[in-house]
């Protein structure tokens, strides 16, 4: 099929039947020819509205133009100046509701594939030989970062570039936050994350795993015993929510966090070569329709489910997952039960899941969030026969640090309260950003928050 200007240049994807049984990345990336062809579709608008759609305001037409001109190093430089995690965001940003939604080309044709191009440049950069080791710290004021998700990683990188000695403390045994334990390999290969972490280490950032601030060390310890001048809290929103319906503690019921952590962090897909198992029967129901639910249901197929389904009480229009993930899930054979609300998980006498009792819903008046409120249709209960149920109905910030740190303030959802401009919390010299502040959001928002907090911390410490 010849490439057409009006259409987005297609990304080559691995065969759906093949890929739904392994963890190799689905999207294979552009080659040079396709990337240039796509880049040339950009109109280089006078008023590049695409930039308004990007939370970190990447100068999109600039880097896109440099691809068209064949200047990859230049494109990489422009990208990195605004977004420290381009290889990751190019893969996982919900572009259709951000940069690409704004793109002027989209009014008549399909928007420029900004995400694909961003990924292309970043992947090129990863393939280049490492340059000279960057300069080591020049400043005396040390900064501690709590949590190694995108917010913490980006904040650490920025502060290191500003000359501060930086240490990241991570509770788990490996760095990366949700990028490590949540988003699966077939969407974000761990080698991409590892490469980014390697760059930070080259900048002199120290990463100390297996330290939980609030347990191993207290916030006071960081300042008083360890001599840090400022702290950035990037602890994310890792507390799984349950529905409170009967049967949630049956054997075979997981939170999405547990299910994904077993596979992504603990490599249960490689059991018994790896030691952590995951229990997957023939039929798996995943409750929810966000990115996490989509990742979970596609992972279930890959670890052996014959039938994997999404059960969601609203309709497809209210789904919060990225459009691309939804498409990929359909191609891979995921079944969708829209307007279906689970009311009970059923089990056998030994306590194993046998079914999910649901009630059908219809859409009513819009609710507070502006989305149509689903209302149950009386008498429409039915049972889906399933062997596993995975709940993916959202996460809240983990209260652990809050409970052990006097004076740290949060709102009623447990999100840390910060000043808009400075990202400063209720405690002096303690800053915060990412999901810990916003509640579960996106990688690019977390990265952006880490970046602006770094600037605020630098100003706080150096009066600049």
Partner 1 sequence: MARILEKRSLTPVTKLFRVESPLVAAAARPGQFIIVRVREGGERIPLTIADYDRDNGTLTIVVQEVGTTTGYLGALEVGDDILDLVGPLGMALEIPAGGHIVGIGGGFGAAALLCLMRELSARGDRTTIIIGAREKGLLILVEELADICDDLELCTDDGSAGFKGLVTERLAQLIGGDGPGRPDSVVAIGPMPMMRAVTDTTRDFGIPTLVSLDPLMIDGTGMCGGCRVTVNNEVKFACVDGPFFDAHQVDFEEAVRRNKMYVQQEQASKERAECRSLAMGQD
Positions that interact with ligand FAD (CB under 6 A): 92-93, 146-152, 169-172, 177-178, 182-183, 212-214, 234-236, 238, 260, 291-292, 295, 322, 398, 400-401, 434-436, 440-444, 446
CA distance 77 to 85: 12
Any contact of residue 349 with partner 1 (CB under 8 A)?
A: no
CA distance 307 to 292: 18
From the list ligand FAD, partner 1, ligand SF4, none, partner contacted by residue 204 (C-beta under 5 to 8 A by kind) = none
Nearer to ligand FAD, 131 or 272 (CB): 272
Neighbours of 211 (CB within 10 A): 15
Nearer to ligand SF4, 288 or 434 (CB): 434
Q: How far is the CB of 14 from ligand FAD (least distance, A)?
A: 18
From the list ligand FAD, ligand SF4, partner 1, none, partner contacted by residue 81 (C-beta under 5 to 8 A by kind) = none
Q: How far is the CB of 56 from ligand SF4 (least distance, A)?
A: 6
DSSP for residue 263: I
Nearer to partner 1, 17 or 270 (CB): 270
Nearer to ligand FAD, 374 or 397 (CB): 397
Secondary element (H or E) of residue 178? helix 178-181
Nearer to partner 1, 46 or 273 (CB): 273
Q: How far is the CB of 346 from ligand FAD (least distance, A)?
A: 25
From the list partner 1, ligand SF4, ligand FAD, none, partner contacted by residue 114 (C-beta under 5 to 8 A by kind) = ligand SF4
Any contact of residue 350 with partner 1 (CB under 8 A)?
A: yes
Quick one: which of 72, 3, 94 has its CA closest to 41?
3
From the list partner 1, ligand SF4, ligand FAD, none, partner contacted by residue 322 (C-beta under 5 to 8 A by kind) = ligand FAD
CA distance 286 to 213: 32
Any contact of residue 220 with partner 1 (CB under 8 A)?
A: no
DSSP for residue 130: P
- Provide the angle, in degrees to the nearest 10, between the axes of the packed helices 60-68 and 32-39: 130
Q: With b meaning 16 or more CB within 10 Å and e meaning fewer, what string describes 134-165?
A: eeebebebbbbbbbbbbbbbbbbbbbbbbbbb
Q: Which stretch binds partner 1 (CB under 8 A): 38-46, 265-273, 408-416, 452-460?
A: 265-273
Q: How far is the CB of 49 from ligand SF4 (least distance, A)?
A: 5
CA atoms within 13 A on the CB side of 229: 14
Binding site for ligand SF4 (CB under 6 A): 42-45, 48-50, 54, 56, 58, 60-61, 83, 89-90, 93, 95, 98-99, 103-105, 112, 114-115, 118, 444
Q: How far is the CB of 162 from ligand FAD (least distance, A)?
A: 19
DSSP for residue 251: B
**Residues 266, 346, 375, 462: which binds partner 1 (CB under 8 A)?**
266
Q: Which stretch binds partner 1 (CB under 8 A): 87-95, 170-178, 321-329, 428-436?
A: 170-178
**Residues 49, 110, 245, 279: which binds partner 1 (CB under 8 A)?**
279
Distances (CA, A) of 5 to 65, 242, 290: 16, 47, 32
Neighbours of 129 (CB within 10 A): 4
Parallel, antiparallel or unpaired: strands 230-233 and 430-432: parallel
Quick one: which of 443, 449, 422 has its CA closest to 149?
443
Nearer to ligand SF4, 250 or 444 (CB): 444
Q: For residue 372, how far is the Cα from the chain centroid?
A: 26
From the list ligand SF4, partner 1, ligand FAD, none, partner contacted by residue 103 (C-beta under 5 to 8 A by kind) = ligand SF4
Secondary element (H or E) of residue 100? helix 99-102
CA distance 62 to 48: 10
Nearer to ligand SF4, 66 or 105 (CB): 105
Quick one: which of 440, 451, 453 has its CA closest to 54?
451
Sheet holding 307-311, edge to edge: 253-255, 388-391, 283-287, 307-311, 335-337
Nearer to ligand SF4, 192 or 213 (CB): 192
CA distance 447 to 63: 19
Q: Which stretch binds partner 1 (CB under 8 A): 31-39, 361-369, 392-400, 434-442?
A: 392-400
CA distance 148 to 160: 15
Quick one: which of 65, 231, 32, 72 has its CA closest to 145?
231
From the list ligand SF4, partner 1, ligand FAD, none, partner contacted by residue 209 (C-beta under 5 to 8 A by kind) = partner 1
**Residues 157, 165, 171, 288: which binds partner 1 (CB under 8 A)?**
171
**Residues 270, 306, 362, 419: which binds partner 1 (CB under 8 A)?**
270
| Contact footprint for partner 1 (CB under 8 A) | 171-173, 209-212, 215-218, 238-240, 242, 248-249, 251-252, 254-255, 257-258, 261-262, 265-267, 270-277, 279, 350-351, 398-400
């Amino acid at each position: 099929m010849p490439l057409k200007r009006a259409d987005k240049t297609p990304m080559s994807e691995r065969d759906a039947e093949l890929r739904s049984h392994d963890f190799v990345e689905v999207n294979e990336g552009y080659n040079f020819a396709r990337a240039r062809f796509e880049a040339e579709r950009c109109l280089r608008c006078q008023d590049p509205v695409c930039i308004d759609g990007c939370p970190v305001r990447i100068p999109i037409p600039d880097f896109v133009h440099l691809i068209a001109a064949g200047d990859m190093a230049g494109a990489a430089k422009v990208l990195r100046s605004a977004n420290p995690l381009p290889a990751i965001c190019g893969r996982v940003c919900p572009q259709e509701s951000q940069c690409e939604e704004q793109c002027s080309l989209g009014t008549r044709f399909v928007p420029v594939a900004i995400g694909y191009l961003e990924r292309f440049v970043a992947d090129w950069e990863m393939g280049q030989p490492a340059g000279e080791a960057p300069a080591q710290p020049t400043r005396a004021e040390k900064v501690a970062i709590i949590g190694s998700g995108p917010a913490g990683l980006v904040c650490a990188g920025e502060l290191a570039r500003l000359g501060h000695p930086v240490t990241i403390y991570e509770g788990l045994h490996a760095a990366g936050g949700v990028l490590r334990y949540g988003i699966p390999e077939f969407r974000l290969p761990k080698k991409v994350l590892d490469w980014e972490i390697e760059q930070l280490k080259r900048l002199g950032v120290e990463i100390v795993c297996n330290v939980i601030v609030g347990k191993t060390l207290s916030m006071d310890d960081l300042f008083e015993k360890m001599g840090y001048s400022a702290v950035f809290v990037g602890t994310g929103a890792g507390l799984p929510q349950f529905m409170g319906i009967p049967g949630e503690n049956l054997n075979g019921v997981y939170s999405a966090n547990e299910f994904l952590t077993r596979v992504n962090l603990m490599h249960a897909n490689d059991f018994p070569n790896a030691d952590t198992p995951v229990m997957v029967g023939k039929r798996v129901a995943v409750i929810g329709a966000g990115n996490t639910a989509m990742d979970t249901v596609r992972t279930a197929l890959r670890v052996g489910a014959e039938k994997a389904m999404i059960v969601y009480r609203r309709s497809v229009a209210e789904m919060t997952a990225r459009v691309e993930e939804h498409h990929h899930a359909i191609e891979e054979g995921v079944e969708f039960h829209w307007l279906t609300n689970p009311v009970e998980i059923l089990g056998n006498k030994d306590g194993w899941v046998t079914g999910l009792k649901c009630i059908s819903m219809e859409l009513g008046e819009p609710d507070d969030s502006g989305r149509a409120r689903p209302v149950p249709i009386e008498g429409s209960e039915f049972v889906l026969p399933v062997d596993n149920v995975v709940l993916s109905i959202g996460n809240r910030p983990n209260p652990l640090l809050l409970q052990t740190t006097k004076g740290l303030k949060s709102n009623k959802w447990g999100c840390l309260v910060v000043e808009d401009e400075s990202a400063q919390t209720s405690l002096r010299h303690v800053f915060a950003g990412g999901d810990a502040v916003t509640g579960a959001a996106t990688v690019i928002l977390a990265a952006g928050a880490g970046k602006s907090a770094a600037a605020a911390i630098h100003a706080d410490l150096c009066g600049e």
